[in-house]
Amino acid sequence: MSDGEPVAGVTSLGEEIYLLRATDSGGDQVEVYDVISYRLLRCLTVPNALGFNDMTSCANLLCLYISDPYVKCIHRLDLHGNAKRWWVSDKPAGLSVNANHNLIVTCSEVGKIKEFSPRGELLRDVILPDDVTNPQHAIQLTSGQFIVCHGGLDDRVRRVCKISSDGRHVVQSHGGHRGSDTGQYDGPVHLAVDDNECVFVVDCGNRRVTLLSPTLEYVRQVVSRDQLTWRPTRQCLDVQRRRLYVADNKWDGDKHTYTAGRVVVFSV
């Protein structure tokens, strides 16, 4: 999909792909593409938004969820663009939807996972272990356990962890000190899990996507730096079509911001 403003999120629903642009122009922020031809079909606007961190979708309720760290809220859009929002209190980061159709919100600064009903009711706070610093994204498995990636710019340890359903214990992990070897990460920022509970990890700093087994053992790289132009930051796995949509964003080190982005499609 074509270059444009930085991509803050990507998700798919049915026969369409939704791409969230981190635009400051005040125009349309969600671009909707046909899943076969990748033709742009329409655009949606997120009203009263100040910035974006991630986007996910719910196939059961046919809606989009978008995290806004500046307003500290979640925007919910139906497929016609009708919008609602609710407050999170803390800055929301990565988003996912669990088997109960509830929204899982990762809050990096406070080390929590928050579970919300589709109406925005806070169902519970899950406080993560102290050594799970700066969690970026979490996905809840059908067992109730969580897969979490964590580690920010100032953290020595950067890992992917499987965490108990109450959030108290790290059951398994992959990674450790920052690095570029197959057992290391330099910015694990986003996750996807397939029907077999294999885990896809976007490693922004190393410019790759790594595949882990259900027990978090290294399997292979599914996307390498040679297949990307810039830095991967977000992803969406279409399990039915076995396609991986990866947001590839251009980083400007002088301005300390992303200045352009696109989505690259891979067969997995």
CB 66 within 8 A of CB 77: yes
To the question of pTM greater than 0.85 for the whole model, the response is yes
Q: Residue 1's pLDDT is what?
A: 72
What is the arithmetic mean of pLDDT over 147-166?
Answer: 94
Instruction: Report the helix count and the strand count for the chain, using DSSP H and E.
Output: 0, 23
Q: Residue 28's pLDDT is what?
A: 58
Q: Is residue 205 part of a domain?
A: no
Q: How far is CA 114 from CA 14, 106, 120, in A?
A: 27, 6, 11
Residue 256: what residue type?
A: H
Task: Say how far apart CA 110 and CA 133 lie, in whole Å.
Answer: 9
Q: Is residue 68 part of a domain?
A: yes
pLDDT category, 253, cuts 50, 70, 90? confident
- Answer yes or no: is pLDDT of 80 > 80: yes
CB 78 within 8 A of CB 41: no
Q: Is residue 147 part of a domain?
A: no
Q: Is 156 exposed, middle or buried (0-12, 13-18, 19+ CB in 10 A)?
A: exposed
Looking up tokens 């806004």 gives 68
Q: Is residue 182 part of a domain?
A: no
Domain of 120?
47-127
Q: Is residue 218 part of a domain?
A: no
Q: Is residue 229 part of a domain?
A: no
CATH number of the domain within which 75 lies: 2.40.10.500
Tens of pLDDT, residue by residue over 7-64, are 999 999 999 999 999 876 555 599 999 999 999 999 999 998 988 999 999 999 999 9
Q: Is residue 103 part of a domain?
A: yes
Q: Is residue 52 part of a domain?
A: yes
Tally of structural domains, the chain: 1
